Amino acid sequence: MPELLADCLYEIFKYLRNDDKDDRKSLNTCIFVSRLWCKNAIPLFWACPWNDGGTFVYKPTIIKTILSCLSNESRQTLLSNDIATSYLTSHRQPLFNYISYCQILASWIIDGMIHVILSNDQNQDQNRLNDLALGYRANILEHELYKLYMSKASSISRLLDLPDFPMMYMPGARLCLSYLSDLDCSTEDSARYFFCLAEFCRKIQRLRVYPCEEDNQGLATLITLQHRLIHLDLGTDNGEMVEKLIHIGDALTSQAQSLTYIKVYNNLYFSTEHLSSFTFLKVLKIYVTSEIPRKFWLCNMVLPHLEVLDVFRDEFTPFRFYKCLIDHSSSKFRRIYWNRLLATPPDNKEIQDFIRIISRSSNFLNFVTIWYSDDIIEDFAQLLSICTNLIGIKICAKDLIDDNNNDNIMINAENILKVIVDKAPKNFSILNFDGNWSFSFHDIESFFENWKYRILSKSGLRPLSLFISDDCEFSWGLSVNDLINKYVDENVLKCFRIAEFLDLEDKEFISVIDF
């Protein structure tokens, strides 16, 4: 029975180890309830003791507890160099091997501890400690802290960067890092560093490379030797085209049977031929600021398991190339999302063809981006009718040009608002208008009233999150704020924003839309 209670407590406490500040505080409080609660809460709290609701805070009490885990030899090394004396003079044997529970490590975590410890030392004796001594003592402290983690942290699962310090040569590093499953690194890191890690790190499942600008053979070797790489995130702040990473691309194809998530930022980094080999891919997120070489490969690419396609930016690839990719791939898409594209659907036939293609995923589709003109309103209404699991939609006004003055023609939103309120499935709750839309006060008020009626009716609807781009034209007058506030108070609107686009990576929005 006690074992069952302990297992139950542990499972409950696991829900408190997230980035919510109140949950982290509650988890810390659980430690002081009883021995049983303490025993089950301590491992979860110490997995990342710095996490204070999504921010990292270097609390002196945590630092003191970590230093209490040092070996006698390390303690004497620090004390003999006047390092952390105020933390080490009143030494007590720790109740737990706290370091053994730590699962996250980064050079900036170590640097944060060093800064707090040495700043405290500096305050204790400002006259005796000069800048040269500070650098010397920082080096000693860094060595002892890495030695502590490598020797006593039994399973570091997440490494948030590769430090300059050669920690993998320290006693215990092979065992400590052999359980690494989550790695953040850069192609600027030494190839030799990656070669060393490749000797014993074979369980990496999530890899984030930022910046990713060089074809690092050491990184390519590390990738090749992984048993099951699942999640890949490549990015750079360099907006210029990066030369294709041949070695890294070839290494990634060795993980084609396991890779299910790929996100690229600013460049594709590998060839479209490489991309076509990832046939088990479920999530593909693309943000490119330069032209994709040999982009015609997209037309013939088949990704049969693809469920999420997010095109955050691509101003070069024709719409039909992505349409062909969707057509040839899965019929179980959950999300198809575009931010603005330079190459939008050229005509209504292209839009109707796109609607026909995505209709095959009607039983699974949660969110989709659609281009619209009043000529395809029946196709749009049919799509809403059959997509019973649809939670949200982004509707882009098709570009229409006035032949007389070459100005954009605004599309009156009256017709589409009527269709949405009439056909929206019961779980529908996110609506985004993008482009040249025109909204009258009467039309939007009527829409909100009808939405309220459906919320109150047996068929039911959820409160709506409404996002409208700043290209839209409003004739709402000064009473717009009163109108919005009224329907927020009546729980018809969950939120209303003027937004350039929906950012699926926005933490404020991710809980609503990132299914």
Q: What is the pLDDT of residues 10-39, one digit of tens each?
A: 777 776 766 555 567 777 788 788 888 888
pLDDT the model gives residue 487: 92
Instruction: Tell me how far apart the alpha carbons of residues 381 and 401 are, in angstroms, rounded to a whole number.
Output: 25
Neighbouring C-beta atoms of residue 54, cutoff 10 Å: 11
Give percent of the chain above pLDDT 70: 87
Instruction: Choose among 237, 265, 323, 158: nearest CA to 504.
Output: 265
Instruction: Tell me how far apart the alpha carbons of residues 137 and 135 are, in angstroms, rounded to a whole number.
Output: 6
Per-residue pLDDT of the chain (515 residues; tens, 9 = 90+): 455 467 787 777 776 766 555 567 777 788 788 888 888 888 888 888 887 766 788 888 889 989 999 999 999 999 888 888 888 877 678 888 889 999 999 999 999 999 999 888 776 665 555 555 788 889 999 999 999 999 998 889 999 998 888 888 888 889 889 999 999 999 999 999 999 999 999 999 999 999 998 999 999 999 999 999 999 999 988 766 666 788 999 999 999 999 999 999 988 788 888 888 999 999 999 988 887 777 777 888 899 999 999 998 888 888 888 999 999 998 899 999 988 666 678 788 999 999 999 999 999 999 999 998 888 999 999 999 999 999 999 999 876 554 455 566 788 899 999 999 999 998 999 999 988 888 888 899 999 999 999 998 866 788 999 998 877 777 666 577 788 889 999 999 998 888 766 655 554 444 444 43
Query: b vs e for 297-328, b when ≥16 Cβ sit within 10 Å of the residue's Cβ?
Result: bbbebebeebbbbbbbbbeebbbbbbbbbbbb
Assigned token pair, 371: 């281009």
Residue 286 parent element (H or E): strand 283-288
Question: Using only C-alpha atoms, what is the Rg of the chain?
Answer: 28
pLDDT the model gives residue 56: 80
Q: pTM value?
A: 0.87
Instruction: Choose among 286, 279, 334, 280: nearest CA to 301.
Output: 279
Domain-wise residue ranges, the chain: 358-514
Dihedral (Cα; 410, 412, 417, 419), 10-degree rounding: -100
Neighbouring C-beta atoms of residue 12, cutoff 10 Å: 13
**Quick one: CATH architecture of 358-514?**
Alpha-Beta Horseshoe (3.80)
The bridge status of strand 411-412 relative to strand 437-440 is parallel
- With contact defined as beta carbons under 8 Å apart, do 372 and 380 qualify? yes
Instruction: Tell me how far apart the alpha carbons of residues 167 and 171 are, in angstroms, rounded to a whole number.
Output: 9
pLDDT the model gives residue 207: 97
The three-class DSSP label of residue 492 is coil
Question: What's the DSSP call for residue 56?
Answer: B
The tokens 């299914």 sit on which residue? Answer: 515
Instruction: Tell me how far apart the alpha carbons of residues 375 and 396 are, in angstroms, rounded to a whole number.
Output: 14
Instruction: Choose among 364, 299, 371: nearest CA to 331.
Output: 364
Q: Give pLDDT tens digits for 46-84.
A: 888 887 766 788 888 889 989 999 999 999 999 888 888
pLDDT the model gives residue 407: 62
Instruction: Tell me how far apart the alpha carbons of residues 292 and 139 are, in angstroms, rounded to a whole number.
Output: 45
The three-class DSSP label of residue 450 is helix
